[in-house]
């Protein structure tokens, strides 16, 4: 590369790429010039060379990386050949791919060129990658191949990767199971499941351990697809990891499998699980085993001081769907455990048994969860609630969760009541409440079919002038029958 070219390379944009280009042009080792590890470093280098390739000559922009290739491109050396592989000129990239055969360290850039927009570059790169990719190299390049596979012409690399890994021994895939990139783990576990490389116990452990939902579902399904007699000998080893998993989908899969394993009685302990999905699966298994989940729930809810009462048991009784069974929920509105009170309110709401007079005191509950559930239950009847008492609940001396719930109900009331409450809180020091108030003002509209011409509405809207702007303010007044 010419000296004046190196002088004109653009200044570093902050990620170190321009500096890496300069180091490579000066012959620095390829790996030491990368600005990041893994796929990010190679992709940044590829993009960075093209960015740095432009420089200014007076008022003109010219290519700054001319890199005239000799008859034998390999004579450039690895560092400068890396620049050529990323060059904006397709002819230079094509010649560079031909010269990369002698440098295994350039394979990551060859992977990128396999999705090149220029067909000659793409075809030569694919030919080289097919020759060079063995099991060991495939595992090392898998994260980059899969990242490039997201590009328009990136499918070749992914297909080739799958083809090579299908022939690879199980031990080679082990490194991919722990890769921090979830896309890599998904690919590796799909390959392992297709080839039946992992047994039910290993798959169950992976489902419970991995944080990615796709891997969890894939491995849990595969673990439970084993022959039926596997549960006779591996019940604890297969189902125990699933039943104790943090993810509800994995737990639900384990609970559902209890029926097939001939242990429906074990599902009872999941009837009050914190997840609605797990509770539903547990009820199914218990019913299939001849049990009655409603009886189980009722026994616990009618003994509020007993050790078996949990929030999951309370909402589980409501989920059975029988309004006649809702009697035990009412006394639980005053239970000392906040979670139980919240679930009792939620259960009554789900059953359509909202009593405004009995729920109203809970709007001032010290537990935010209880107040949220109460506000949700009262929302459909917001216009029947006492406005004055709701406004009292928005006072600055009240806790935040109570003020927010009260304003939510006032906002649902609509009309001048909602606008009056919002304008009164526009300057509130609480940021979360203020954001809700401003959103309410912006979307406020005069009630359809109203009398119009309310002077109070005009005064309230004038106080929102800074928030709405003149044009929107005039429109809102016109809609409210003012200033026509």
Residues 6+ apart with CB under 8 A from 54: 10, 61, 62, 63, 64
Please state the length of the chain: 484
Res. 25: pLDDT tops 90: no
Query: Given the structure tokens 């490194």, which residue do they identify?
Result: 175
Q: Model confidence at 66, in pLDDT bands (50, 70, 90)?
A: very low
* Reported pTM: 0.78
CA-CA distances (angstroms) from residue 138 to 162, 164, 177, 193, 425?
A: 9, 7, 14, 18, 61
Ramachandran class of 365: left when φ > 0, alpha when ψ lies in -120 to 50, beta otherwise? beta
Residue 54 has pLDDT above 60, yes or no: no
Q: What is the pLDDT of residue 60?
A: 42
User: What are 199-240's pLDDT values in tens digits?
Assistant: 899 999 999 999 999 999 999 999 988 655 555 546 778 899
pLDDT of residue 14: 44
What was the pLDDT predicted at 33? 75
CA distance linking residue 350 with residue 279, whole number of Å? 16
**Residue 62 confidence (pLDDT):** 46
Q: Say whether pLDDT at 11 is over 70.
A: no
**What is the share, in percent, of the chain residues with pLDDT greater than 70?**
88
* Percent over 90 (pLDDT), the chain: 61
Question: Cβ distance 107 to 132 under 8 Å?
Answer: yes
Query: What are the pLDDT digits (tens) for 414-432?
Result: 999 999 999 999 999 999 9
pLDDT digits (tens, 9 = 90+) for 317-348: 999 988 888 889 999 999 999 999 999 999 99
Degrees to nearest 5, angle at CA 62 with 59 and 63: 160
Mean pLDDT over the full length of the chain:
86
Res 483: pLDDT: 65
> Buried b vs exposed e over 131-160: b needs ≥16 C-beta within 10 Å?
ebbeeeebbebbbbbbbbbeeeebebbbeb
CA distances from 14 to 20, 32, 322 (A): 12, 18, 63
Residue 63: the pLDDT is 45
Rounded to 5 degrees, what are φ and ψ at 110? Answer: -65, -40
Which pair of structure tokens corresponds to residue 439?
């959103």
Flag whether pLDDT at 105 surpasses 70. yes
pLDDT per residue as tens digits for the range 115-154 = 999 999 999 999 999 999 999 999 999 999 999 999 989 9
Query: Which of 265, 354, 346 lies closest to 313, judged by CA?
Result: 346
Report d(CA 55, CA 431) in Å as an integer.
Answer: 48
What sign does the dihedral 79-80-81-83 (CA atoms) show? positive
Partnered with residue 61 across adjacent β-strands are: 56
Q: Is pLDDT above 60 for 59? A: no
CA pair distance 29, 79, nearest whole angstrom: 6
pLDDT in tens, 277-325: 999 999 999 999 999 999 999 999 998 777 778 999 999 999 998 888 8
Element (H, E) at 54: strand 54-57
Given a cut of 70, is residue 7 above it in pLDDT?
no
Distance, in Å, from the CA atom of 321 to the CA atom of 340, rounded to the nearest integer, reads: 18
As a whole number of angstroms, the distance between CA 95 and CA 151 comes to: 23
């Amino acid at each position: 590369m010419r000296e004046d070219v190196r002088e004109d390379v653009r200044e570093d944009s902050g990620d170190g790429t321009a500096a890496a280009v300069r180091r490579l042009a000066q012959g620095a080792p390829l790996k030491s010039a990368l600005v990041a590890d893994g796929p990010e470093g190679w992709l940044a280098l590829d993009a960075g060379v093209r960015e740095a390739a432009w420089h200014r000559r007076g008022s003109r922009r010219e290519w700054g990386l001319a890199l005239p290739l000799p008859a034998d491109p390999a004579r450039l050396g690895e560092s400068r050949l890396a620049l050529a592989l990323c060059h904006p000129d397709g002819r230079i990239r094509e010649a560079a791919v031909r010269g990369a055969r002698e440098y295994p360290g350039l394979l990551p850039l060859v992977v990128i060129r396999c999705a090149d927009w220029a067909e000659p570059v793409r075809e030569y790169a694919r030919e080289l990658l097919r020759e060079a990719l063995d099991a060991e190299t495939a595992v090392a390049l898998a994260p980059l191949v899969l990242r490039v596979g997201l590009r328009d012409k990136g499918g070749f690399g992914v297909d080739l990767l799958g083809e090579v890994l299908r022939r690879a021994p199980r031990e080679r895939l082990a490194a991919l199971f722990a890769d921090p990139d979830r896309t890599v783990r998904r690919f590796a576990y799909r390959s392992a499941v297709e080839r039946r490389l992992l047994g039910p116990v290993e798959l169950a452990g992976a489902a419970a351990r991995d944080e990615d939902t796709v891997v969890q579902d894939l491995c849990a399904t595969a673990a439970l697809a084993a022959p039926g007699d596997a549960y006779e000998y591996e019940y604890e080893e297969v189902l125990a990891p699933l039943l104790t998993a943090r993810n509800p989908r994995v737990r639900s899969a384990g609970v559902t499998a209890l029926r097939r394993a001939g242990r429906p009685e074990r599902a009872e302990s999941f009837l009050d699980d914190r997840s609605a999905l797990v509770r539903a699966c547990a009820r199914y298994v218990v019913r299939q085993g001849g049990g009655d989940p409603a009886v189980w729930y009722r026994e616990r809810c009618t003994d509020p001081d007993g050790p078996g009462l949990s929030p999951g048991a309370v909402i589980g009784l409501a989920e059975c769907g029988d309004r006649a069974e809702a009697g035990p929920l009412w006394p639980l509105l005053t239970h000392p455990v906040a979670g139980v009170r919240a679930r009792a309110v939620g259960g009554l709401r789900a059953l359509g048994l909202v009593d405004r007079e009995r729920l109203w005191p809970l709007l001032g509950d010290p537990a935010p969860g209880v107040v949220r559930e109460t506000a949700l239950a009262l929302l459909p009847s917001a216009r029947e609630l006492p406005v004055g008492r709701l406004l009292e609940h928005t006072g600055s001396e009240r806790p935040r969760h109570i003020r927010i719930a009260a304003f939510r109900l006032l906002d649902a009331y609509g009309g001048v009541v909602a606008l009056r409450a919002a304008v009164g809180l526009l300057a509130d020091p609480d940021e979360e409440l203020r954001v809700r108030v401003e959103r309410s003002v912006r979307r406020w509209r005069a009630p359809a079919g109203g009398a119009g011409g309310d002077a109070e509405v005009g005064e309230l809207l004038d106080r929102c002038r800074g928030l709405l702007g003149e044009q929107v303010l005039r429109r809102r007044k016109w809609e409210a029958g003012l200033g026509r």
